[in-house]
Amino acid sequence: MARIVMKFGGTSMAGMERIRNVAARIKHVVGQGNEVAVVVSAMAGETDRLVGFAKEASPLYDPAEYDAVVASGEQVTSGLLAMTLKAMGVDARSWLGWQLPIRTVGAHNKARISTIDTTELLKAMSAGQVAVIPGFQGVMDTGRISTLGRGGSDTSAVAVAAAVKADRCDIYTDVNGVYTTDPRIVRRARKLSMVTYEEMLELASVGSKVLQTRSVELAMKEKVRVQVLSSLDDPTQEELPGTLIVSDEEMEAQIAKDSGMERQLITGIAADKNEAKITITRVPDRPGAVASIFGPLAEASINVDMIIQNVGRDKGETDVTFTVPGADLARSLDILEKQKESIGFNRLINDPKVAKVSVVGVGMKSHAGVAATMFKALADRGINVMAVATSEIKVSVLIDEDETELAVRVLHSAYALDAAEGA
């Protein structure tokens, strides 16, 4: 017996036939003797429809009214799922955000969960009643409905799991787990049975969009074991079918226990084409010059990522290259152009056709030579590295966008991540 939070996204809740499938899955998990809470999204398309109304009402809509409008999508699916479960003979009831309550702080439309009152919830769950909770919503101290921002249902599920001290938070998505890399790029990509929170964050933030980043951060903070799995996976099988996201300690313990499992140096390869490169030429090489470049960008909330400074050009001058999110390129150039005099540069060169490819793995903390392997593998195939950035568990390189898929395949093989043929 375990206490499990199950989360279903909009695709799984789109229409009564799918809601019945979800209910059948829950019934099976309940039948195994587990205590279950379920967090649901709105039907696919419904939130867009409601947001459309709000935007039509006013481009500068009132954020509190917006929340009351869009939160209704999850209210509907939670009620429908609860009644479907009851019709199947599974005791269930819906608990809206304001009913539990799920208290939130911060601003409407992007609120953060502060506390979840579990008194009634735990009473119901321990009595064998499935608690169906709409994701994405909560209630402010003002008594008004709040929402967490798009994709917030993953975060709701992790927060509920933390509050009820669940053994696991199972997040059902349209993929059946986290892979060593995008299987559309590398046919022999392997599904990972376990990754750490840190690895998941690096894989997510550089492009493997499976879970909302905020939900992984919350899971890490609250030590919630999260499983990513597909609604098509068979829930009756013994072993967990998806990818388990856990702490470093649990990963270590699992490796120690399972003699057949070897700690991989590299867990996965991520690629992100949403980067753009900016080079500022002939910046005066004096104290404060860099601050005068990055200060105005930071003020505009533009996230500067990789930075390289080419020293040793003409005496007293330097070129500065860095990346920004592709969506912020035009705005960045505009801001820098306005600072031309105060920075005192010569030219602004930009290149939106770049990609960031990263190798990620907690294993590299204790191994040298990861970066060297990476550079050699890329150089052997003639792939030019424009910039490098490293963290404790990640090495990223900036390359020509056209070479993204090639680089991912090369690195996937170089770190021996390919599945055995036929596996």
- The binding site for a copy of itself (CB under 8 A) comprises 16, 19, 50, 53-54, 56-58, 60-62, 64-66, 68-69, 72, 75-76, 78-80, 82-84, 86-87, 93-94, 96, 98-99, 143-145
Residue 302, both tokens: 């533009």
Smallest distance, Å, CB 343 to a copy of itself?
A: 41
Q: Of 82 and 245, which has the nearer Cβ to a copy of itself?
A: 82
Give the nearer residue to a copy of itself in terms of CB position, either 75 or 193.
75
| In the complex, least distance from residue 23 CB atom to a copy of itself, rounded to whole angstroms | 9
Q: What is the DSSP letter of 383?
A: P
- Tell me, letter by letter, the H, E, C secondary structure of 20-53: HHHHHHHHHHHHCCCEEEEEECCCCCHHHHHHHH
Decide: helix, strand or coil at residue 319. Answer: strand
CB 62 → a copy of itself: shortest distance, Å?
5
Residue 293 C-alpha from the chain's centroid: 30
For residue 417, the minimal CB distance to a copy of itself (Å) is 45
Residue-wise over 60-95: b if at least 16 C-beta within 10 A, else e? Answer: ebebbebbbbbbbbbbbbbbbbbbbbeeeebebbbb
Nearest residue (CB) to a copy of itself, 80 versus 178: 80
H helix runs in 88-151, sequence order: 119-126
Between helices 63-70 and 72-87, what is the axis angle to 10°? 20
Q: At its nearest, how many Å lie between a copy of itself and the CB of residue 57?
A: 5
Q: How far is the CB of 318 from a copy of itself (least distance, A)?
A: 50
Of 146 and 318, CB closest to a copy of itself: 146
Tokens of 165: 């001290």
84 vs 153, which CB is nearer to a copy of itself? 84
| Angle CA 103–109–110, to nearest 5 | 70
- Report which DSSP code applies to 375: H
H-only helix segments in 110-178: 119-126, 152-163
Q: Give 78 or 243: the residue with its C-beta nearer to a copy of itself.
A: 78
Closer CB to a copy of itself, 83 or 255, in the complex? 83
Nearest distance in Å: CB 246, a copy of itself? 35
